[in-house]
Amino acid sequence: MSAGITITSGNFEKEVLQSNVPVLLDFWAQWCGPCKMLGPVIDQLAGEYEGRIKFGKINIDDEGDLAGQHGIVSIPTLVLYNNGVAENQRTGAAPKREIEAMFKKYL
């Protein structure tokens, strides 16, 4: 698992919907190979953008309700929230520059 806050149904509203910075959610599972490949990229971005964007991790095996609410059918899936609204979504492992492009205009 990479850097980021563990997001659950219990803290979703506070950590995501009420966040004062954009939030990039990573829907993942321990058994997912591409999710593990994405981990180091998320770690690097979390360090570079600390304080400007929040990175949240949602384990779909533990939080199936959140995955269902977001219509997640494949992982890894990244969902960007800004001001409590899902603004952007991407499924599959991606290079750093493509992930950055998801959130840069919201910083």
Q: What SS3 state is found at 86?
A: strand
Q: Say how many domains are in the chain.
A: 1
Q: pTM for the complete prediction?
A: 0.93
The answer to whether position 39 is within a domain reads yes
What is residue 43's predicted lDDT score, i.e. its pLDDT? 87
The answer to whether position 97 is within a domain reads no
Tell me the average pLDDT across 15-41: 95
Q: What SS3 state is found at 48?
A: helix
- Scan for tokens 């997912």, then name that residue: 32
Residue-wise pLDDT for 39-81, tens only, equals 899 989 999 999 999 999 999 999 999 999 999 999 999 999 9
Q: Is the pLDDT of residue 82 over 50?
A: yes
Q: Which domain holds residue 68?
A: 5-92
Tell me the average pLDDT across 5-13: 96
**Which of the four pLDDT bands, split at 50, 70 and 90, describes residue 13?**
very high
Question: Based on C-alpha coordinates, what's the Rg of the chain?
Answer: 12
Q: Which amino acids are annotated catalytic?
A: 32, 35
